[in-house]
């Protein structure tokens, strides 16, 4: 399993893309998707919602358990991935591509986000 170098990671196992025009993409890592098992339901924040770094903003339900989704940054949600809502298995099959969760206009980014190498060391993946 390899964590894309261009992304940053939270200790809650979310990834964050570099901002384009102030907007970043958020998803969960392959490590988290594997730990969850087969994802069968996804609840995402709605467009216009304000998310806060480190706080719950949604939920992922798998055949094994239910897990909270945490925002790695603070900002306003500008898009939720309807494809993942319609087909939650995308979180497992393509966590860094089609399985992304939402896009956020970032207003504050914590300083403790990890590089890919730091996240690999942290997660053991």
- Which segments of the chain have a pLDDT < 70? 1
Angle at 33 between CA 87 and CA 81, to 5 degrees: 40
Angle at 9 between CA 44 and CA 2, to 5 degrees: 105
In this prediction, residue 119 carries a pLDDT of: 97
In this prediction, residue 2 carries a pLDDT of: 82
What burial class does residue 117 get, using C-beta atoms within 10 Å of its C-beta: 0-12 exposed, 13-18 middle, 19+ buried?
exposed
In this prediction, residue 78 carries a pLDDT of: 98
Q: In this structure, are strands 74-80 and 102-108 parallel, antiparallel, or unpaired?
A: antiparallel
What is the model's pTM? 0.95
Contacts of 22 (CB under 8 A, 6+ apart): 105, 106
Helix ranges (DSSP H) in the chain: 30-36, 82-86, 90-93, 116-123
């Amino acid at each position: 399993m390899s964590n894309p170098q261009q992304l940053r990671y939270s200790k809650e196992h979310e990834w964050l893309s570099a901002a384009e025009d102030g907007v970043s993409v958020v998803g969960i890592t392959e490590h988290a998707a594997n730990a969850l098992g087969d994802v069968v339901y996804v609840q995402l924040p709605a467009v216009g919602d304000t998310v806060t770094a480190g706080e719950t903003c949604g939920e992922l339900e798998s055949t094994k358990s239910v897990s909270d989704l945490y925002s790695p940054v603070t900002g306003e949600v500008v898009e939720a991935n309807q494809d993942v809502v319609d087909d939650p298995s995308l979180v497992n099959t393509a966590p860094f591509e089609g399985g992304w969760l939402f896009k956020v206009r970032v207003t504050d980014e914590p300083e403790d986000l990890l590089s890919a190498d730091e996240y690999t060391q942290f997660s053991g993946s």
